[in-house]
Structure 1
Amino acid sequence: MELLIVRHAIAEEPETWVPRDDDLRPLTDDGKKKMKEAAKGLQSLVPKLDVLASSPLTRAMQTAAILAKVYEKPEPLSVDSLAPGQHPPAFAEWLRTQAARKVVAVVGHEPSLGTIISWLTAGIEQSFFELGKGGACLLTLGERIDAGEAMMEWALRPSQLRALG
């Protein structure tokens, strides 16, 4: 399985969003524009997705919707284990339900994504990796979807993805 991990695009700043619910914080217009360009770059590297999932938070779902449009996929699945504060084993449990899929794409948040990447590649539940907003990485997994079982193929900044698009 290939696992494409994407951090949500540029969103409204938390400080300007208060006192509204942070879960509802949306992407900025610039974030949407840049993500559309980055998604085209992603598609040049990963031409097809079998499933697209996202954290249920607005900014992640909006990012996933942009990917869905570029990849001509239906609405992304909302996956609670991609929400901030969740632990990698919970995400791995969901990922195992997708084991028959060749390419799984997920959209989420930092530091949770960095922790998932660290856990899947090195087996530690402490983040040593951080994706920029709109950045992505590709992991490959064999039959075992568990701690320390993945290999990172590449990781790219959003500007690099846009340059590919």
Structure 2
Amino acid sequence: MDLYIVRHAIAFDPDPTHWPDDRDRPLTDDGKKRFRAAAQGLGALLGSKAVQTLLSSPWVRAWQTAEILEHEAGWPAPVRCEALEGGRSPAEVLKALQPYPTSKAVGLVGHEPSLHELASYLLTADTTHLQMELRKGAVALIELPEVRPGTGRIRMLLQPKVLRAIS
């Protein structure tokens, strides 16, 4: 399985007066604009058929990011995945991946620090052994021959600035 791990794009800062529930915090207009360009670059780099399944945190900012991937990169419509909500464990994400064949490419849209912990878990079987910077809108590709910890190989890490330059 090729696993494309995508951190949500730039969102508004937490503000309980506007969004009492942080799950409702959306992307900024600039965040949407920048990520549209990044998603176009990703589509140009990989082609529109690179991902067969797109799983996303249902939190607003992640879901909006997934919708941009659908419209700008040609990825499939997102599927709600609670395991990608902020604060969830990598083991929960692996459990959510079990129904998908290892021959498929799956996109995941979620939140930090959960995503870099997931990457570390997939690559080293531990959530803390690998530190990587996933900026907002960044994409990491991990080749996962088996859906279990420690079996992954990192194939690509692209920050959003690079993706925008490709578009």
What is the deviation of 1:130? 2.7
**Structure 2 residue 3 is the aligned partner of structure 1 residue 3:** yes
Deviates more, 1:46-55 or 1:56-65: 46-55
The alpha-carbon distance between structure 1 residues 35 and 16, as it changes in their structure 2 partners (threshold 3 A), is farther
Larger mean CA deviation between 7-16 and 54-63 belongs to 7-16
Aligned residues of 2:144 and 2:152 also touching (Cα < 8 A): yes
Aligned identity (percent) is 41
Q: Which residue of 2 is the match for residue 39 of structure 1?
A: 39
| Higher deviation after alignment, 116-125 or 8-17 | 8-17
> Residues 1-165 of structure 1 correspond to what in structure 2 (within 5 A)?
1-15=1-15, 20-47=20-47, 48=49, 49-126=51-128, 128-142=131-145, 144-165=146-167
- Residues 39, 161 of structure 1: 8 Å contact kept: yes
SS state of the match for residue 11, structure 2? coil
Residue 98 of structure 1 aligns to which amino acid in structure 2?
Y
Question: 1:111·1:130 contact (CA, 8 Å) conserved in 2?
Answer: no
Counterparts in 2 of 1:38 and 1:62: CA distance versus 1, 3 Å = same
Q: TM-score, normalised by structure 2?
A: 0.92
In the alignment, the residues of structure 2 paired with residue 25 and residue 8 of structure 1 have an alpha-carbon distance, to the nearest angstrom, of: 11
Change in Cα spacing, 1:103 to 1:118, as seen in structure 2 (3 Å) is same
Is the 1:50–1:101 contact (alpha carbons within 8 Å) kept by the matching residues of 2? Answer: no
Deviations 1:54-78 (A, max 9, x none): 0010000000000011244553101
TM-score, normalization: structure 1?
0.93
Cα distance in 1, alignment partners of residues 76 and 5 from structure 2: 18
Q: Which range moves more in the overlay, 20-29 or 44-53?
A: 44-53
Q: Deviations over 1:7-27 (max 9, x none)?
A: 000000114765621100000
The answer on whether the counterparts of 1:6 and 1:137 sit within 8 Å (CA) in structure 2 is yes
Q: Superposition RMSD on alpha carbons, in Å?
A: 1.6
Residues paired across the two proteins, number: 164
SS class of match (2:131): coil
